[in-house]
Structure 1
Amino acid sequence: MKLKKLLATGLALCMAGSMLAGCGSGSGTTTAAATTAAPAGTTAEATTAADGTTAAGTTAAASAGETDFPTKNVSGIIQWGAGGGTDNLMRPLATLAEKELGKSIVVENKAGATGTIATQYVYDKDADGYTLLMGAENPQLYTALDLLNLTYADFEPVFLIGDETVGIVVSKDSPYKSFTELINAALEKPGELTISTTGKGGLPWEVGSFITAVTGATFNQVPYDSDAAAKTAVIGGECDFTVCKIQSGIEDYKAGTLNFLCMFSKEPAPAMPEVPLITAEYPDFEQYMPWGPFYGVFVKKGTDQAIIDKLGEAFKKAYEDPAYQEQLANTNVNALGLTGSEAKEYMKNWQLNTINALNKSGAIDKTAADLGLE
């Protein structure tokens, strides 16, 4: 009996020692084999979920997207040349956003072919968030115009910055003192009045198509190398009219060399509230409103959502900086500040409105349905 009691006591002491050793090991290294319910971040074998995935693998991936990115500098590719409207908006925004990211955003201009060169370049890179497309609205029309088999549907919006109000402009010596007078003259002389454009797919060409779709007036389109050259052609009397962004025409307007007949908008432009609205003279334009050139930052489709979110937050904070808001106001860019589904909805509406107008005017043969758009 004494022997049995001694054995029982010894066994109890061993068990207690094992339990104490187990508690103490919590602050040390624990192997996966010894752990039945390891916390997230330990070995994947220890945390297999019911659906066959591993909590450790999922957590590690999420952590990489949320905290590790970026581990190197980010490349920002601008669709247009240095000194243009897109370039002037993107460079200061990138400078502010890189402070939030903790890595540099190296901005590079890849101009040409209505922005298709830059768009294709970014699309050909990995969907890892390290190559940003900094562009304007043009890719939404690439497939409609047979320029490139890509649109913003092949990218994800990181951040939509803003859009611009544009106006119909003539020279100070023009005989046309209102948009209605211009249209009446064009209807009397189909195809004779001249509009200076930047070619197929450019801003004046797009708005000219809207005008034809609503009024039935047709024009002789004269292409120039840039918006500035198209504006100069009107000021010099080479063409009857063109389409100008406020930021590119306001100084000429103030100087008296250029006259805004109307704004392509249903709401007055804060910088030029005295200019009539096109919808006041032709209410049917309202079906296509709001409309204007827009600017945004994009990544290739397939980029991890956590990376998109982190980029979006950095650009949002940059956008909200008082100095950048002042720049938007000074250049008469209407602030949008859209991300995610709101940005996608805005771009989809813009695309549908523009394609419907282009098709109705006869500028393109394709319909929205032909392009797979609802």
Structure 2
Amino acid sequence: MFKPLLTVVAVATGSLALAGSALADYPTRNIQGTIQWGTGGATDNVVRSLTPHVEDVLGTTIVLTNRPGGTGVIGMNHVMRQRPDGYNILFGAENPQLYPLMGLADFTYDDMHTVNIIGQGLVVIAAHPDSPFDTFAELLEYAKENPDELRMGGTGAGGLPSTIHAMINAVDELDVRTVTFGGDGPGVTALLGEHIDFMPLSLSAVAEQIRGGRLKGLAVLTDEELEELPGVPPITEALPDIEAFLPWGPFWAVLVHQDTPDEIKTTLEDAYAEAVASDGFQEFLQNFGGATLNLRGDEAQQYLDNWQSVTAWAMYDAEAETIKVSPEELGIPRP
């Protein structure tokens, strides 16, 4: 009886030692990275630019796969269903913080572990250079005189365009048709081809097109002109009351399964913090029209909570059709 017991203890102890060794050696193989939006959009561009810097820190390869659809639900659900071993990472944007409000899913980023909030994007309302509108004020006036005529590019319920549309309708009225695409990239392509009239976009998705004259900015979602886009007026010139929602912008995040071992969470947090702060990525982000956040832990959670509060109540007060539940019912406090 005694000898088998010792054997069992020895085996158990050995298993624990092997598990501890595996954690200490992480990562020992390629990591799978899921981007919850399509190719060519802001999230895709940011992630693909950051990833080589993370690979250098971790000493491994991160295999990136785009899984768009369902306003990001498909990609996030895929990662949440994988083993919590740190070998499946989600790269997402802000949309999951609104899923329960829109009835898209019963989870948010609170149901995963936030490795890093990489940065925040600036927002521009863009149009084709041949558009008859040179400012958003002109477009807004035309839309009031011709309701439901203009075509606005969108990315689905809770996407950046629908959120900006809700903010505008919370302080004024913008009656337009929405043409939905699977991400910023396809929307920008449609805008370049004049298949839509305008689209609210992350500046990082269209900065080069605007600088090169292939698109033009009608307004930036700020209360002052941006150095990156001289001559493009702040949206407060057309809508002074929208200042109550500013500053606001989309963000990019890195997440893993909530049950991932703490040692691996820390390894990933350290690696992404170092990579985001690297000179190479900082140069990219500045040229791309983004602002660095590089948040982890409590700071990341505080940021997520604040973004959710501001956005959810702005959309609810605008009586956005996409909002199915009151933020109050979900315990989301007013900002």
- Alpha-carbon distance between aligned partners in 2 of 1:225 and 1:119, rounded to the nearest angstrom: 15
State the one-letter code of the partner of 2:144. Answer: L
Rate the CA distance shift 1:174–1:97 in 2: closer, same or farther, 3 A. Answer: closer
Rate the CA distance shift 1:169–1:62 in 2: closer, same or farther, 3 A. Answer: same
Rate the CA distance shift 1:306–1:279 in 2: closer, same or farther, 3 A. Answer: farther
Residue 12 of structure 1 is matched in structure 2 by none
Alignment partner of 1:216 out of 158, 173, 179: 173
Alignment partner of 1:261 out of 218, 235, 238: 218
Q: CA RMSD in A?
A: 3.0
Rate the CA distance shift 1:82–1:151 in 2: closer, same or farther, 3 A. Answer: same
Residue 327 of structure 2 is matched in structure 1 by 368
Partner-residue secondary structure (3-state), 1:128: coil
Post-superposition CA distance 1:107-132 (Å, at most 9, x none): 33333322212211111123332321
Residue 297 of structure 1 is matched in structure 2 by 254
Once the 2 structures are TM-superposed, how far is the Cα of residue 249 of structure 1 from its aligned partner?
2.9
Give the TM-score, by structure 1 length.
0.75
- Alpha-carbon distance between aligned partners in 1 of 2:44 and 2:187, rounded to the nearest angstrom: 20
Rate the CA distance shift 1:370–1:192 in 2: closer, same or farther, 3 A. Answer: farther
Residue 312 of structure 1 is matched in structure 2 by 269
Of residues 171-180 and 339-348 in structure 1, the stretch that sits farther from structure 2 once superposed is 171-180
Once the 2 structures are TM-superposed, how far is the Cα of residue 296 of structure 1 from its aligned partner?
1.4
Rate the CA distance shift 1:82–1:228 in 2: closer, same or farther, 3 A. Answer: closer
Once the 2 structures are TM-superposed, how far is the Cα of residue 72 of structure 1 from its aligned partner?
4.1
- Alpha-carbon distance between aligned partners in 2 of 1:299 and 1:226, rounded to the nearest angstrom: 22
State the one-letter code of the partner of 1:333. Answer: G
Rate the CA distance shift 1:275–1:122 in 2: closer, same or farther, 3 A. Answer: same
Equivalences for residues 224-303 of structure 1 within 5 A: 224-234=181-191, 237-303=194-260
Residue 128 of structure 1 is matched in structure 2 by 85
Question: Does structure 2 conserve the Cα–Cα contact (< 8 Å) formed by 1:65 and 1:306?
Answer: no
Residue 203 of structure 1 is matched in structure 2 by 160
Rate the CA distance shift 1:61–1:353 in 2: closer, same or farther, 3 A. Answer: farther
- Alpha-carbon distance between aligned partners in 2 of 1:262 and 1:73, rounded to the nearest angstrom: 42
Q: How many residues align?
A: 319
- Alpha-carbon distance between aligned partners in 2 of 1:235 and 1:250, rounded to the nearest angstrom: 13
State the one-letter code of the partner of 2:79. Answer: V
Equivalences for residues 1-374 of structure 1 within 5 A: 67-234=24-191, 237-363=194-320, 364-374=323-333
Partner-residue secondary structure (3-state), 1:158: strand
Post-superposition CA distance 1:343-365 (Å, at most 9, x none): 11112221122211222222224
Question: Does structure 2 conserve the Cα–Cα contact (< 8 Å) formed by 1:172 and 1:256?
Answer: yes
Give identity over the alignment, percent: 38
Question: Does structure 1 conserve the Cα–Cα contact (< 8 Å) formed by 2:71 and 2:156?
Answer: no
Rate the CA distance shift 1:176–1:229 in 2: closer, same or farther, 3 A. Answer: same
Partner-residue secondary structure (3-state), 1:244: strand
Post-superposition CA distance 1:195-220 (Å, at most 9, x none): 23233333222211111112133222
Once the 2 structures are TM-superposed, how far is the Cα of residue 133 of structure 1 from its aligned partner?
0.9
- Alpha-carbon distance between aligned partners in 1 of 2:30 and 2:187, rounded to the nearest angstrom: 38
- Alpha-carbon distance between aligned partners in 2 of 1:244 and 1:340, rounded to the nearest angstrom: 28
| Gap runs ≥5 in structure 2 | 1-8
Once the 2 structures are TM-superposed, how far is the Cα of residue 159 of structure 1 from its aligned partner?
0.9
- Alpha-carbon distance between aligned partners in 2 of 1:74 and 1:290, rounded to the nearest angstrom: 35
State the one-letter code of the partner of 1:370. Answer: E
- Alpha-carbon distance between aligned partners in 2 of 1:347 and 1:206, rounded to the nearest angstrom: 16
| Gap runs ≥5 in structure 1 | 1-42, 44-55
| Larger Rg computed on CA atoms | 1
- Alpha-carbon distance between aligned partners in 1 of 2:186 and 2:311, rounded to the nearest angstrom: 24
- Alpha-carbon distance between aligned partners in 2 of 1:97 and 1:208, rounded to the nearest angstrom: 35
State the one-letter code of the partner of 1:245. Answer: S
Question: Does structure 2 conserve the Cα–Cα contact (< 8 Å) formed by 1:65 and 1:304?
Answer: no
Partner-residue secondary structure (3-state), 1:201: coil
Question: Does structure 2 conserve the Cα–Cα contact (< 8 Å) formed by 1:266 and 1:289?
Answer: yes
Name the structure, 1 or 2, with higher relative contact order (CA <8 Å, separation 6+).
Answer: 2
- Alpha-carbon distance between aligned partners in 1 of 2:233 and 2:222, rounded to the nearest angstrom: 9
Rate the CA distance shift 1:176–1:71 in 2: closer, same or farther, 3 A. Answer: closer
Once the 2 structures are TM-superposed, how far is the Cα of residue 162 of structure 1 from its aligned partner?
1.0
